[in-house]
Amino acid sequence: MNKLESSPLVHFESRDRRLPEWFRLGFSFGTDGPDPLPPQIILAVEKSALVHFMEDIERNTLVKYAGEHLTHRNASAEFLTDIREPWGFGGILKPYAPAEPNDFLHFAINIPRVEKEAGFCRDCEGTGKDQITGQGTCHRCNGSKKETKQDQSELNMISATLCAIHPLLERPYEVWLRDVKDVGRPQLLSLITSFGPQCPFIAVVFSPEVVGFLARNAGRTLPQIESAMWKTYIQMVPGYERYGPYGFEASVDREGCPSFSVSRDALMSVSGFRQPSSRDRMKFDSTEVMSYHQQVSLLAGIAMLCDMVKTTR
Ligand SMILES: [Zn+2]
């Protein structure tokens, strides 16, 4: 019998005991200056868990599924599997050495530019002025004088990679986690994201540690999370910056239930029944996500939340 067939799955959402951390998320706003970095979502995975997961990658049907959908979206890419190098579709998970080395392997997902410049605006021919009156702002380029085009290939590769590796992030086989040492840090969440013909979605289950953090922040807004989602979105679509960060919101209600929104219409909220006073796990689910821009921006907010929980525990 194959080792996977005999291995139970880890059901994070229904475990009553705490699980030692096998992966975590983080967020970086990036840097300016001579060596600029874009905003980044950080994925850190316990080394043995990632090695075991990769040993079974040939049996992971999601790699083929996501790869086919990438081709369908004109973004064909190979799923690279050498974790010492950039890996995932198109190598979007880039290894880096953290400041304090530990048993985790760290990978950065650089948030890509999706909206790219493509020469002068066709309407105003680069004047930035309204074509008919010669005054006021050109409606096509909004005065930027530039034509833009959308290149979603890298964004697609990010969503495809997250979908292909979600068995490790959401419901891993116990054999993948058998060598993870308990060093006193609990797993904070499980994560599932989609990539395919259906509307994108993202859902997480929070551990009691995150639920406790949210309870301590009941009734508050979470500006760091709003900022992470906004910076991620305008990194992808710089032209959106002129509309301002309205609708990029993150807050916790008086019951301790969080709510995130991106560009008004994509939302994440608590789903299912939960007793407000309990310190159980909490499912946080998306609705009305229309694009991978929104999916990845919501993920940036989740990653920032993980950073905030870690710094306060
Ligand atoms: Zn123009």
pLDDT at 115: 93
DSSP state of 200: P
Tokens found for residue 139: 């409606």
SS3 sequence of 43-111: EEEEHHHHHHHHHCHHHCHHHHHHHHHHHHCCCCCCEECCCCCCEEECCCEEEECCCCCCCEEEEEEEC
Write the pLDDT tens digit of every residue in 185-236: 999 999 999 999 989 999 999 998 999 999 999 999 999 999 999 999 999 9
Q: What residues in the chain have per-residue pLDDT under 50?
A: none
Q: How many CB atoms lie within 10 A of CB 100?
A: 5
pLDDT at 52: 96
CA–centroid distance, 139 to ligand 1, in Å, is 6
Q: Which of 296, 240, 239, 237 is nearest to 266 (CA)?
A: 296
Tokens found for residue 149: 């085009």
pLDDT at 143: 85
CA–centroid distance, 147 to ligand 1, in Å, is 7
pLDDT at 91: 97
CA–centroid distance, 231 to ligand 1, in Å, is 25
CA–centroid distance, 120 to ligand 1, in Å, is 8
CA 283 vs CA 16, 63, 205: distances in Å: 15, 26, 4
- Residues with Cβ < 8 Å from 209, sequence gap 6 or more? 186, 188, 309, 313
pLDDT at 211: 92
CA–centroid distance, 266 to ligand 1, in Å, is 29
Domain-by-domain residue ranges, the chain? 12-114+151-312, 115-150
Tokens found for residue 38: 């874009």
Q: Which of 191, 188, 190, 181 is nearest to 102 (CA)?
A: 181
